[in-house]
Chain A
C-alpha cells in the first residue's frame, strides 16, 4: 500500500497562474484534509471532505478550491496564485475522527 501520495512534490508558479495539487489515498478512508504549513505556524486546515462528493471549508480557505469526485482522490486548486500562498501543502486522510495519515507534501513557491 502506498498510503497517501501527493503530486507534484515541488512547483514554482508566477503570480496569477493556476494549478491543481492531487492527493490520493489507498486506505479507503472517508475523511480527507488539505493543510498548509508555514514557519512557526504549525499546520492550518484549508479544506476537508467527509466523503465522496462532499467538501467543506477549514480555517484558511480563501484563494483555494477543492473537489472530491472519487473517494480516493482529493484535489486542491489555486485559481490565481499569490505570493502569500507560498507554503508547504500537506494532504491527510483518516478513518473517521482518528489518527491522520499524511502525504509527503508539496513545496509551492509563488513568485
Chain B
C-alpha cells in the first residue's frame, strides 16, 4: 500500500533548541497536511500545503513543501514545553478520488526537556 515515511521517530530536545521532522513519499503528492497530537489527546490540524516549493509560517513553526512535491518538513524554532507531542504528516489517498481520505505517516514524537 501507500506509504508516507516520516523521520525521525523520536526527538528529544532541550527547551530552546530547534526541531525538524521530515516526511517523504515515493510518489508526487497533490497536497500534504500536518497534524499535532498532544499526549493523551487527539490529532489537531495544523496546516495544508498545496503548491510546489510552498513555505508557510505559523509563529515559531515553518512548513515546507518540496519542489518536486515528494517531501515536506516541519521546523520548530526555539522549542517550548508546550510543543511536546506527536507530529504527523498526512497525504491524500492515491488511486482514484480521494474523498478526503488521508494516509498518515508514523509520526515524530517530540519531547522537550525544560
Contact = CB atoms under 8 A, between A and B. Distances in A.
B97 to A, nearest CB: 9
Interface stretch (A63-71, A77-85, A89-97): A89-97
Contact of B102 (A40, A45, A56): A45
A48 B105 CA distance: 19
Contacts of B6: 42
A106 to B, nearest CB: 11
Contact of B107 (A42, A59, A104): A42
Given A58-B101, A59-B1, A98 B48 contact: yes
Contact of A97 (B98, B103, B106): B98
B33 interface: yes
A73 interface: no
Nearest to B44: A102
Interface residues of B, number: 24
Contacts of A42: 6, 88, 104-107
A102 B42 contact: yes
B22 to A, nearest CB: 15
A2 interface: no
Given A40-B9, A59-B1, A90-B43, A96 B100 contact: yes
A43 B42 contact: no
A102 B106 CA distance: 17
Interface residues of A, number: 26
Give the top 4 A-B pairs by smallest Cβ distance, nearest first: A97-B100, A99-B45, A42-B104, A102-B42
B92 interface: yes
Nearest to A58: B101
A41 B45 contact: no
A43 B88 contact: yes
Contacts of A50: 99
Contacts of B98: 97
Nearest to B93: A45
A99 B48 contact: yes
A91 B88 CA distance: 16
A100 B100 CA distance: 8
Given A90-B42, A99-B33, A99-B48, A41 B100 contact: no
